[in-house]
Amino acid sequence: MARQHKKTDFPVHQVRRYLEPGPIVLVSSRRRDKTNIMTLGWHTMLEFSPSLVGCMISGGNHSHRMIHDSGECVINLPTTALTDTVVGIGNTSGAEVDKFREFGLTAEPAQEVQAPLIRECHASFECRLHDDALVDRYNFFIFEVVKAHVASVPKHPKTLHYTGDGVFITAGGVVDRKSLFRPGML
Amino acid sequence: MARQHKKTDFPVHQVRRYLEPGPIVLVSSRRRDKTNIMTLGWHTMLEFSPSLVGCMISGGNHSHRMIHDSGECVINLPTTALTDTVVGIGNTSGAEVDKFREFGLTAEPAQEVQAPLIRECHASFECRLHDDALVDRYNFFIFEVVKAHVASVPKHPKTLHYTGDGVFITAGGVVDRKSLFRPGML
């Protein structure tokens, strides 16, 4: 059973701290009385403030329409403790399975959106759809992170990074080069 | 001195193998007789075939205009052997510095584009600008990878993943869960 992290508020303009390294994330959504979760690796930071994140959510995913219709989702950050859950969620469809129940995850109410947070994740970022200009052409959603919740420990969560073919790499060591940065670049 | 990796052709529709985990990359460009290199962490895979990658290249970067005007670049994959080079490149401007010379890197001719490959990197992906629809609004370039060069060893290069504030995490262990995937999901 994964630990249920105690989370505190985190500045939305600093979510790059967790998303830029490219972790697999779990995207939770709600439309009317149905929730769903999908596994996603194709995302990028786009802007600090407003805090914008772009996500490629394939049209084949049950979550695609739920997120497009509701205009909301939560991007949750799992760690290696949830490896098999991440794989299980990525290999089942919300059209057939209630993923919170199937994978023993806890849906918590968000503050700014209807989509639920996943309590067992290290961080949860509440998102509103900001721009759907590229959804039809590339399934590319641009979200604004409107509220962020992050566990204070561990400082460097052991995230999962997908490489395809069923193989992940995990977050390894920490390399601090702050002393080599120009102040304006930090 | 970083090793100069011997690279071989790699299928462009599989570049997610290297880009999806979210590594810092070095983007090289050429416009007329000038080359440049920038450090980039805000990118995502968008499609397998054509092989599309989206990159947020801020307008403040000297490379922004070079890449927009030339419609080309090369996305190079550095490893921890190049940590200080990655930081140095990210903290200098191509308007003032010849980065290949300043950082002792070797420009190699690409096959499909005019922008140079960086020999000291583990992999190099030759890119053509595929769609600039979001460049004005978000500095978001959609590139097609038209040719890929990858070193065969090590199989899992020790990539750098930026978290902001001068701190990187490095690629750690490898977790294989292929046996848990449905065949169509691999």
Residue A83 belongs to some domain of the structure: yes
Q: Is B65 left (phi over 0), alpha (psi -120 to 50) or beta?
A: alpha
**Cβ contacts of residue B55 below 8 Å, gap of 6+?**
A44, B27, B40, B42, B43, B75, B140, B141, B143
Burial A163-180 (b: 16+ CB within 10 A, else e): bbebbbbbbbeebebeee
Q: Spell out which residues of chain A touch residue B44, defining contact as CB-CB under 8 Å.
A: 42-44, 54-56
In a domain, B30, yes or no: yes
CATH number at residue B139: 2.30.110.10
- Residue B1 pLDDT level (bands cut at 50, 70, 90): very low
Backbone angles phi, psi at B146, to 5 degrees: -105, -15
Closest chain A C-alpha to B7 CA, distance in angstroms? 19
* Residue B184: pLDDT band with limits 50, 70, 90: confident
**pLDDT over 70 for what percent of chain B?**
97
Size of interface A-B (CB pairs under 8 A): 195
The reply to whether A2 falls in a domain is no
Per-residue pLDDT, A184 = 85
> How does residue B22 score in pLDDT terms, banded at 50, 70 and 90?
very high
- Number of separate domains in chain A: 1
CB-CB under 8 Å, B174 with A167: yes
CA B21 to chain centroid: 12
Q: Greater confidence, B182 or A186?
A: B182
Q: Kindly determine whether residue B83 and residue A175, on different chains, have CB atoms separated by under 8 Å.
A: yes
pLDDT of residue B3: 62
Q: Could you tell me if residue B179 is inside a domain?
A: no
What whole-number distance in Å separates Cα of residue A30 and Cα of residue A38? 12
With a cut of 50, list the residues of chain A below it in pLDDT. 1
Can you tell me the distance from the alpha carbon of A95 to that of A147, in angstroms, rounded to the nearest whole number? Answer: 28
Query: Could you tell me if residue B40 is inside a domain?
Result: yes
Residue B4 has pLDDT above 80, yes or no: no
CA A33, distance to chain mean position in Å, is: 21
A182 vs A169: CA distance, rounded Å: 31
**Structure token pair of residue B39:** 């450090």
Decide if B186 is inside a domain: no
Query: How far is B75 from B63, CA to CA, in rounded Å?
Result: 12
Average pLDDT over residues B166-179: 97
Q: What is the pLDDT of residue A113?
A: 98
Q: What is the pLDDT of residue B6?
A: 85
Asked if residue B184 belongs to a domain, the reply is no
Percentage of chain A exceeding pLDDT 70: 97
Residue found by looking up tokens 């000297």 in the block: B62
Question: Does residue B181 sit within a domain?
Answer: no
Contact list, A160 vs chain B (CB under 8 Å)? 175
Query: Does residue B154 have a pLDDT over 90?
Result: yes
Nearest to B138 among A22, A47, A163 (CB): A47
> Mean pLDDT over residues B73-102, rounded?
96
The whole-number pLDDT of residue A4 equals 63
Domain span at B48: 7-174
Probe site for chain A from B138, B144, B176 (most A CB atoms < 10 A): B138
Contact of A153 with A163, CB cutoff 8 Å: no
Mean pLDDT of B132-159: 97
